Amino acid sequence: MELASVARPPDTSEMIEVSQAGTVERVYRGILRDLEEGRMVPGQRLVETDLATRYAVGRNAVREAMQRLAARGVVDLARNRSPAIRWLDRAETLEVLDVAEAMTALALRSAASRYDRERDSAALQKTMELLLEADRIDEIGAFSRARRHFYRVLLEIGGNRELQRLYPAIGMHIIYAQYQTRRLRGIRLADYRAIIDAVSLGDAAGAEQAGRTHVDHVRASIPHDAPAG
């Protein structure tokens, strides 16, 4: 006689973990989106209860998301102070740019070295179209999203998995949120076009130099009277 199989009751602990992961992700992505779109700004204090209400989650989810954001360099969890969106003084801004220059140079050299016109041309040109469209509609969040897409495509072309993992953690998103100007956006557009041109030619040295020049332009745009540490 064949015994009927007995359905295993759902593991409630697994269900709770999945639910918790979803709410943590909601807070994590929500803060990144709000920073990108100007609803949050560098230096802004983050109140746990306000965030829980804002994103309709529990306070444990907020705490876990804050830890993830701190590890990414978005949130400052310094002792004896309430959490805040990270604010960069001039010295730290220049330190971030030093790291960005080295990693951008490597990313662009890799992209140019591995560029394949048939495989990569359409995706790379699409990045420029998205940047120009975002500039046309003049919306901060749209330009930030287009910029992220631009670098994601270049990193995919370059194929360096460690760079793909590390590059998003560079604090450039904080710098652009802190020093956003229409003039800087215009400089970035011209630089991105030069980068695309060099990568499209498979010019590794030219692409690397275009990346370093771009970071130099950003560096020069930081006001000399920006607060020191």
Give 97's contacts (C-beta < 8 A, 6+ positions apart).
Answer: 175, 215, 218, 219, 222
- Please say whether the beta carbons of 207 and 198 come within 8 A: yes
Q: Do domains 13-85 and 90-221 have the same CATH topology?
A: no
What does the pLDDT read at residue 19?
A: 56
The pTM assigned to this predicted structure is 0.80
10-residue mean pLDDT profile of the chain (229 residues): values are 46 46 90 90 94 94 94 87 90 95 97 97 96 88 91 97 93 87 86 97 98 95 67
Domain ranges of the chain: 13-85, 90-221
Give 139's contacts (C-beta < 8 A, 6+ positions apart).
Answer: none
Tell me which H or E stretch contains 58: none
Tell which CATH architecture fits domain 90-221: Up-down Bundle (1.20)
**Residue type present at position 169:** A
Kindly report the CATH class assigned to 13-85: mainly alpha
